[in-house]
Chains A and B, each alone.
Chain A
Amino acid sequence: MSSEKINTSFDALVIGGGIAGGESALNLANNGFRVLIIEKDLSIGGKMILLSKVFPSLDCSACITTPKVSEISRHPGITIFTNSKVKSIIKKSKNDFEAEIIKYPRYVITEDCTGCQLCEEACPVIIPDQYQYNLVGRKAAYIPFSIASPRVAAIDIENCTLCGACEKVCPTNCIDFTQETEEYLIKAKTVVVATGFNLFDPIKIPRFGFGSYKNVLTSMQMERQLAPTRPFNTILRPGDAKVPDNLAYVLCTGSRDVTIGNPICSQICCMYSIKQAQLLMGALPMADVTIYYINIRSFGKGFEEFYSQAKGMGVDFIKGKIGKITEKENGNLILRYEDINENKVKESEHDMVILSVGVLPNPDNATLFHGEELKLDPFSFVNQTEPLASPSRTSIEGVFAAGTATGPMDIPDSILSAGSASSEAISYLIKKP
């Protein structure tokens, strides 16, 4: 909970309130250190809180993330700034980092909002909902999503027409258009960079037609369609709201592809696609699901078994690269691909195509630190200076990287990396100079 009396010095500054940042913060706080989390979004929980289920255990992602998120948000040793950004961090000396933080206004008094959603009903503005990856609309006065933390309204000032409808209906008078951007100067003894990753935007591969063919979706959009807080009650084609019955996955969209500048493998797409395929078979028992792949990388604990299970359920795996997607008049899509097993070029028709988009570095990492430089690796992830003996160490002593800030990884690996970063941060805080 934020208040005017926020202490301006902390033991640790954690940048990013996703699952890696949250785990790091908890480890630090559980050992008695005071932590500040800076989250740029309106809610903590990162991408994990928006997922459907997790592989290979098929636990509902929201269900396992929410307790973690509540634990983080109510921990007495943890302060959270949402809707905030790091302007710059300067290392003054050992154990002395100075961070300039910008806290953007929510135009809602967080403490007073009950999350009743009356403002949302009253707001006349409709724009695409970024938390549903633009599948549906939202209002300019809105609660980010139903399990957001904090679950309070925010005003999207860029799209707001200042009509005042929300103010009129708010039962607690918590809407406050006079709020202004606040700047904080914060001292911390150590910094954990848990800035996460960005998803590849498939608009950069025009031959797949994303953005112009309505029934070509990204895997994150499908993730939302399958999530418990999903936009529709079933799986729908955005083009005509028809329930699809023949879906295709295009793996390695934006990964292992030098033509778009990303030569590395994203490490998670095979598995999340296999998971989605299994969930789709459950949700749409009559549907066919085909996965077009280069190599299936089911390398983690229980993954290979999960892959076998999908094959057993009838998911069709075709080894082949997609050359081009074209749209038919009825909205169906023709995939032209090279079938490696049969060594020939083929075409197939599907009524929905999901692009399994890859993991890209968060560009913010380049501008966080001023003075001493936070070095990046050749792929623009945070560089690990001792990848084997101390994987979370960075080029700045006292700054540790957690989760996908250093490269693609799945949830358990992010948790382990966060454990590693917080462990080094604790040692750094305890060790006498």
Chain B
Amino acid sequence: MNKKLGVYICHCGGNISDYVDVEKVKQAVENEEGVFIAKTTIFACGDANQKEMVDDIKNNNLDGVVVASCSPKLHLLTFRAVTERGNMNKYNYVHVNIREQASWAHSDNKEGATEKAILLVKSAIAKVRLSEPLYPIKISSKKAVAVIGAGVAGMRAAIELSNMGCPVTLIERDHFVGGRVAQWDVLFTTNQTGKELVTNLYNDLINRKNITLLTGAEVISNAGSIGDFKVRIKKTPRYIKEKCNDGHLLKAIQACPIEVPDDFNFNITNRKAIYHNFPSEYPHYPVIDIKNCTRCGECEKICESVDFTQKEEIIEIEVGSILMATGFDSYTPAEGEFGYQKFDTVITLPQFKRIIDLNDKKLTFKGKEVKSIVYIYCVGSRQIDGDNKYCSRYCCTSVIHAAIQTKKKFANIQNYHFTRGIRTYGKQEILYSDSLKSGDIYLQSYEEDPPVVLRENGNTLVKINDILTGGKEISVKADLVVLVTGMIPRKDNKVGALLKLPKGRDNFFNEIHMKLRPVETVIDGITISGACQGPKNIMESVNSALSAATKSFSYVSKGMLALEPIIARIDKNLCTWCGACAEACPFDAISVEKDENKDIAAINNSVCKGCGMCLPVCPVNAINLIAYSDNEIESMIDALAGV
């Protein structure tokens, strides 16, 4: 079992060698037992060095390699691949992080950093001496993807997967598809309306045999893992038969005595307990809001399509990958924030957009004509005191676009923008120029001195100390104050919690790598797209949806996946089957099995995720995690202890 080892210590072009004496590290380890080659290199990850390593491995028949460089997050896979190209088993490769955890962490103490690097490399050598060759566990992967959320991102991803020949279950919690975009009128950059965009996507997907759309559907449990997720979905009924009589239904809606705030219109209007979303919503038949329905029976009397006997359904699907497109919530201002809920002239941007859509010819709100509109930017975003530190990205462009649309649709509108610096990035800049040309007035508040909304003699006034006029106090009388509210993560994170998706500092779902892997997550097989990962406009959401579709597709396209062989292993001789391990396993990967004449624990290799939770609970120490066995850990401790 004596291995021939190669050890490479990286300068990282100074990132390591400026603080760690890499030559000294090399000298300290080159005589360790088993070390056949020890080298330093300027960039271990560079092509030239990779080539050299392959040659070293082949020419000398190395069967263990250690590279001491940066975080394994960056290069573990790179070097595993290098060893494979040298025809070595890649699990006989051990990565040491002497950059983030030595040179950079201890850049204040070069000697200490060097000492630490030496011990870390020695412990890796100790580990690789004991490592064993491993082979991936091959499992089959169901060629099907669950897309959660049927907004524009989810629908677009579903269509793309369908194009690739992959069956999709599209799961929407609401009874209607289209998400936020359905609520918007004319969209920026095209003259399409949100309804049109949603209509096009819906018509495209509804006729496809390989897309199953489930509305009113919520994921209630998830088991399994990449290649084989078992997703249970609760589908609540609409209480309306699918083939319904439109005329009768319309009358039934009129007859319903219940009125509740319509959240499709952000509560600026009311709807009945039996309701549509908008005239061409999808699927194109209404729903009974059973929570608010009093079962008075008025609708049933009029319309034969009403069916209160419909039952909740539980649907179970098996998919190889899950694509998240659960979107965002709009920030709701606190009571009194810029006069919200205190003055009836103060509304949010989403409400304003619905008002533009719902009004014709004349813009009125609460019966009064609106001419002077003040927009207060960054409400709920870039908070100085609150938790939402981030910029919501879409709002500057969105509100300027809405302001322009308002002027186009209604006469005599004057727009006043109370900003914190306009962020119409990229080509959106043109919209801002257009808005300036059309006579919109822009003011900017100081960071610590936001505008104030107040009421004087029955008028709503907005006051600002304006940067752009050298700090002058300016006061504008407003018929309507629009709070430009940003995007916040979904308040209801049930599905995220269920799938155990990690969140970032901003509470949106977190990707694996901010720069290069923006749609993958730490949970293998689950991708994230659209605004559930962070604020985005439609184009950006669709780009991320299609990216996620490609990644999800690559998990399932081959029908087969190779999984990490690092899993738990039972020592049959020691095991006396007490069941403690099975109880500790969060994945139900352990069951009891007969071995000769006694019961022992058995690991299900494709379910075991290699977390190791079963290890410490075993009273007879009969379980080891492959690559983290007692021998390996203890030899690492020996090396780190310097004994």
Query: Residues of A with Cβ closer than 8 Å to B?
Result: 19, 23, 27, 30-32, 54, 56-57, 59-60, 62-64, 66-71, 73-74, 114-115, 146-151, 228-229, 233, 256, 263-267, 295-305, 308, 319, 340-344, 377, 379, 384, 386-392, 407-409, 411-413, 415-420, 422-424, 426-427, 430-431
CA distance A23 to B533 in the complex (A): 20
Residues of B within 8 Å of A233, CB to CB, are 14
Contact of A417 with B543 in the complex, beta carbons under 8 Å: yes
Least Cβ–Cβ distance between B322 and chain A, in angstroms: 17
- Among the stretches B86-94, B160-168, B324-332, B357-365, the one at the interface with A is B160-168
Q: Which of B47, B160, B542 contacts A73 (CB 8 A)?
A: B47
Residues of A within 8 Å of B518, CB to CB, are 412, 415-416
CA distance A71 to B79 in the complex (A): 11
| In the complex with contacts A147-B43, A419-B548, A424-B546, A302-B506 CB distance below 8 A | yes
Complex A-B: 10 CB contacts under 8 Å: A63-B74, A148-B47, A299-B393, A299-B425, A388-B187, A389-B200, A407-B427, A415-B516, A423-B546, A423-B549
Contact of A304 with B382 in the complex, beta carbons under 8 Å: yes
Interface centre among A54, A267, A300, A416 (most CB of B within 10 A): A416
Q: Which of A23, A297, A343, A423 contacts B423 (CB 8 A)?
A: A297
| In the complex with contacts A228-B13, A388-B190, A305-B505 CB distance below 8 A | yes
Least Cβ–Cβ distance between B284 and chain A, in angstroms: 20
Does B611 sit within 8 A of A, measured CB to CB? no
Residues of A within 8 Å of B160, CB to CB, are 423-424, 427
Least Cβ–Cβ distance between B550 and chain A, in angstroms: 4
B window 362-410: CB within 8 A of A: 381-382, 389-391, 393
CA distance A27 to B517 in the complex (A): 12
Contact of A70 with B78 in the complex, beta carbons under 8 Å: yes
Contact of A67 with B428 in the complex, beta carbons under 8 Å: no
Residues of B within 8 Å of A263, CB to CB, are 429-430, 433
CA distance A67 to B187 in the complex (A): 39
Contact of A64 with B516 in the complex, beta carbons under 8 Å: yes
Contact of A59 with B390 in the complex, beta carbons under 8 Å: no
Residues of B within 8 Å of A59, CB to CB, are 74, 515
Contact of A31 with B514 in the complex, beta carbons under 8 Å: no
Residues of A within 8 Å of B506, CB to CB, are 301-302
B window 39-53: CB within 8 A of A: 42-43, 45-48, 50
CB-CB contacts of B75-113 with A at 8 A, as 1s and 0s? 101100100010000000000000000000000000000
Q: B557: nearest residue on chain A (CB-CB)?
A: A31
Least Cβ–Cβ distance between A289 and chain B, in angstroms: 19
Residues of B within 8 Å of A409, CB to CB, are 426
Does B540 sit within 8 A of A, measured CB to CB? yes
Contact of B46 with A146 in the complex, beta carbons under 8 Å: yes
Contact of A389 with B201 in the complex, beta carbons under 8 Å: yes
Chain B contributes a number of interface residues (CB within 8 A of A) equal to 83
| In the complex with contacts A301-B514, A389-B197, A426-B543 CB distance below 8 A | no
Contact of A416 with B547 in the complex, beta carbons under 8 Å: yes
Residues of A within 8 Å of B423, CB to CB, are 295, 297-299
Least Cβ–Cβ distance between A12 and chain B, in angstroms: 13
CA distance A413 to B160 in the complex (A): 19
Does B122 sit within 8 A of A, measured CB to CB? no
Q: Which of A68, A423, A426 contacts B516 (CB 8 A)?
A: A68
Q: Which of B470, B508, B515 contacts A342 (CB 8 A)?
A: B470
Interface centre among A54, A64, A69, A411 (most CB of B within 10 A): A64
Contact of A150 with B47 in the complex, beta carbons under 8 Å: yes
Contact of A305 with B390 in the complex, beta carbons under 8 Å: yes
Does B70 sit within 8 A of A, measured CB to CB? yes
Contact of A411 with B515 in the complex, beta carbons under 8 Å: yes
CA distance A267 to B160 in the complex (A): 28
Contact of B421 with A296 in the complex, beta carbons under 8 Å: yes
Least Cβ–Cβ distance between A223 and chain B, in angstroms: 15
Residues of A within 8 Å of B389, CB to CB, are 304-305, 308
Least Cβ–Cβ distance between B415 and chain A, in angstroms: 18
Residues of A within 8 Å of B544, CB to CB, are 416, 419-420
Contact of A295 with B546 in the complex, beta carbons under 8 Å: no
Contact of A57 with B554 in the complex, beta carbons under 8 Å: no
Interface centre among A300, A342, A408 (most CB of B within 10 A): A300
Identify 7 new A-B residue pairs, CB closer than 8 A, beyond the known A267-B426, A391-B539: A146-B42, A147-B45, A297-B423, A319-B467, A407-B426, A418-B547, A424-B160
Contact of B15 with A60 in the complex, beta carbons under 8 Å: yes
B window 131-175: CB within 8 A of A: 152, 156, 160, 163-165
Contact of B43 with A415 in the complex, beta carbons under 8 Å: no
Does B560 sit within 8 A of A, measured CB to CB? no
Residues of B within 8 Å of A301, CB to CB, are 390, 504, 506, 508, 514, 533-535
| In the complex with contacts A299-B391, A341-B467, A430-B425 CB distance below 8 A | no
Least Cβ–Cβ distance between B385 and chain A, in angstroms: 13
Residues of A within 8 Å of B514, CB to CB, are 56-57, 301-302, 412
Least Cβ–Cβ distance between B637 and chain A, in angstroms: 30
Does B519 sit within 8 A of A, measured CB to CB? yes
Q: B85: nearest residue on chain A (CB-CB)?
A: A74
CA distance A423 to B467 in the complex (A): 46
Q: Which of B189, B428, B549, B558 contacts A265 (CB 8 A)?
A: B428
Q: A19: nearest residue on chain B (CB-CB)?
A: B516
Residues of B within 8 Å of A149, CB to CB, are 47
Contact of A70 with B557 in the complex, beta carbons under 8 Å: no
Residues of B within 8 Å of A19, CB to CB, are 516
| In the complex with contacts A264-B426, A389-B200, A424-B160, A66-B46 CB distance below 8 A | yes
CA distance A379 to B428 in the complex (A): 12
Contact of A303 with B429 in the complex, beta carbons under 8 Å: no
Residues of A within 8 Å of B12, CB to CB, are 60, 63, 228
Least Cβ–Cβ distance between B546 and chain A, in angstroms: 4
Residues of B within 8 Å of A148, CB to CB, are 47
Does B551 sit within 8 A of A, measured CB to CB? yes
Q: Which of B421, B534, B547 contacts A420 (CB 8 A)?
A: B547
| In the complex with contacts A389-B156, A426-B553, A427-B164, A151-B470 CB distance below 8 A | no
Residues of B within 8 Å of A424, CB to CB, are 160, 546
Does B422 sit within 8 A of A, measured CB to CB? yes
Contact of B77 with A67 in the complex, beta carbons under 8 Å: yes
CA distance A281 to B352 in the complex (A): 44
CB-CB contacts of B424-464 with A at 8 A, as 1s and 0s? 11111110010000000000000000000000000000000
CA distance A94 to B164 in the complex (A): 17
Q: A425: nearest residue on chain B (CB-CB)?
A: B550
